[in-house]
Amino acid sequence: MNRKSFILPVLLLIAVIGFAQEADFGETDIQGIDFEATGMEIQESDVPEPVTQEPERVIPSSILNNQYYLQSIRLNEQAKEAFEEGDYDASASYAERAAEYARLSDEYVNMRLAETAFARAHSRYTWAGSVGAATGYPTQYRSATTAYNEAVAARQGENWNTVFDSSNRVLAALADVRGPGGEAGSYASALPPKPVQSTTTPVQGALPAQYTVRQWNNTGDCFSTIAGWSWVYGDATEWRRLYDANKFKIPDPNNPHLILPGMILDIPSLHGETRSGMWEPSGN
């Protein structure tokens, strides 16, 4: 297969992916079609059976339009331009890279959705255990425990689809659990995903325990830069401590050079110092 014949299907695939992401596909209304006018016949067996929908994955635009996706769009445009100019080798190279970044984008989106779902499931499951759900709601709690253990194992193996699905099963199993006073507890965690906020309460005089990554072109955020700030470690060479504590939050756990704006990093204690709450951007 020559380079030109390779490029066309790759570009077509990327174009279809982009169209599918932008389009709003509704359900087909077969009752509105004049089959006699089209010469088509429809049998009862042709009507599809209703299918059970999977949990809806509400994707915030900040996650969907991630840096991988935007880079895949840029590379796709470069591939098209090179193809139109007759530079098929360059076009093929751009197309291959665009496809790779599109794949990374899918992995990143799945990871972020799964981690958000797991955080909510963990919060709900922990609360349910604390109010005696194991004895008050034994059936629901057993189901939640099975699903939670599956989510934990899948998270360790970075099987993000299973993490997402199992986490939602935890939330569904514990949806009706109430505390001793009839309170719903952390039921709000079962609502559609929203940006993860700090889970700690600031303690006066303590150093921050979490940090939200900012735009690189404004702050140069990377593990070494962050580690070098006085309220973190004051030593850029301690970046690996940050990396080890957050490696499974980043898109590629084996690549410490890629952290994305909006990610919440945990700052572990280095010398026993007290840490609590989220760093507030009043200065470096």
Pick from 44-58, 92-106, 125-139: least confident: 44-58
The model's confidence at residue 173, banded by pLDDT at 50, 70 and 90, is very high
- The H-or-E segment that residue 265 falls in is strand 264-266
Q: In sequence order, what are the residues at sequence separation of 6 or more whose Cβ sits closer than 8 angstroms to the Cβ of residue 204? A: none
Q: What's the burial of 131, exposed, middle or buried (CB within 10 Å: 0-12/13-18/19+)?
A: middle
- The H-or-E segment that residue 264 falls in is strand 264-266
* pLDDT at residue 167 tops 80: yes
* pLDDT at residue 184 tops 50: yes
pLDDT of residue 52: 43
- Which overall architecture, per CATH, does domain 197-284 show? Roll (3.10)
The model's confidence at residue 33, banded by pLDDT at 50, 70 and 90, is very low
* pLDDT at residue 113 tops 70: yes
The model's confidence at residue 169, banded by pLDDT at 50, 70 and 90, is very high
pLDDT of residue 165: 92
pLDDT of residue 191: 36
Average pLDDT of the residues in 192-200: 39
**Contact of 200 with 266, CB cutoff 8 Å:** no
* pLDDT above 70 as % of the chain: 68
Which of residues 149 and 24 earns the better pLDDT score? Answer: 149
Helix (H/G/I), strand (E/B), else coil: 218: helix
pLDDT of residue 203: 47
* pLDDT at residue 22 tops 70: no
* pLDDT at residue 166 tops 90: yes
Which of residues 249 and 168 earns the better pLDDT score? Answer: 168
For residue 159, the tally of other CB atoms under 10 A from its CB is 17
pLDDT of residue 193: 37
* pLDDT at residue 219 tops 90: no
pLDDT of residue 12: 54
- How far apart, in Å, are the Cα atoms of 35 and each of 3, 82, 211? 44, 45, 60
pLDDT of residue 194: 35
Determine phi and psi for 181, rounding to 5 degrees.
-95, 10
The model's confidence at residue 81, banded by pLDDT at 50, 70 and 90, is very high
pLDDT of residue 180: 83
- How far apart, in Å, are the Cα atoms of 241 and each of 30, 179, 221, 226, 277? 59, 39, 16, 11, 18
**Contact of 17 with 101, CB cutoff 8 Å:** no
**Quick one: which of 117, 127, 262, 125 has its CA closest to 192?**
117
- How remote is the C-alpha of 242 from its chain's centroid? 20
Helix (H/G/I), strand (E/B), else coil: 171: helix
Pick from 134-138, 162-166, 212-216: least confident: 212-216
In degrees, to the nearest 5, what angle opens at C-alpha 121 toward C-alphas 267 and 199? 30
**Contact of 127 with 186, CB cutoff 8 Å:** yes
* pLDDT at residue 114 tops 60: yes
